Amino acid sequence: MIKMASPRSFILALPAIVLVLALFMTTVTAQSKLSTNFYKNSCPNVESLVRSAVNNKFRQTFVTAPATLRLFFHDCFVRGCDASVMLSSPNGNAEKDHPDNLSLAGDGFDTVIKAKAAVDRDSRCRNKVSCADILALATRDVVVLQGKGLFTSDQILFTDNRSKSVVNSFASSPAAFNKAFADAMTKLGRVGVLTGTQGEIRKDCTRPN
């Protein structure tokens, strides 16, 4: 797993993460068909509710962006995109307690918790939106708030013949980077997604119902 020394160092490492995702996740497919308007009837304003909560959190601290994105990355790459990284354990043996996850910033967890609370305050949406979807929406929103798009390569990626052409492509075309980033995050969001009766919509993202 990727470890973060500071929020700034993680922001600088984002291009490397995107490059890895773009190059090595091309075979990832969804087990079931996913819908971008799944909550159209049950919680039609879920995106605006999450976005508002994320905006408020972002105004409180810059760490919101890298912390939330890193939380999403760690969640999806371990057991799939099921928000299992949010779960707490009195015995200290939860996914979040693994050594690779101990450095996850609390602001990432707090972003999801506050977004979940905002969604549940709407009577139409209470206990109808999964924590995994809230984490995915929050991650999308922090990326937009950061306004990232320009590729800042590290020296290894730039000098390695296997990645140099991709680095040059991204450096010369912000649009190409934006598309690769969006495609990679979409593919990442499909890893191990629970659908139908496979999971549960938690009332509290930190514990099973």
Q: Is 185 left (phi over 0), alpha (psi -120 to 50) or beta?
A: alpha
| Residue 131: C-alpha distances to residues 106, 144, 175 (Å) | 16, 20, 31
Cβ–Cβ < 8 Å for 76, 85 = no
98 is known as an active-site residue: no
The CA R_g of the chain, rounded to the nearest whole Å, is 17
Q: Does the annotation list 165 as a binding residue?
A: no
Reduced DSSP (H G I as helix, E B as strand, rest coil) percent helix, strand, coil of the chain, to 5: 55, 0, 45
Q: Does the annotation list 75 as a binding residue?
A: yes
Residues 74, 140, 187, 202: which is the catalytic one?
A: 74
Q: Does the annotation list 95 as a binding residue?
A: yes
Q: Does the annotation list 100 as a binding residue?
A: no
Indicate the annotated binding residues for Ca(2+): 75, 78, 80, 82, 84, 95
Going by the annotation, the residues of the binding site are 75, 78, 80, 82, 84, 95
Residues assigned a catalytic role: 74
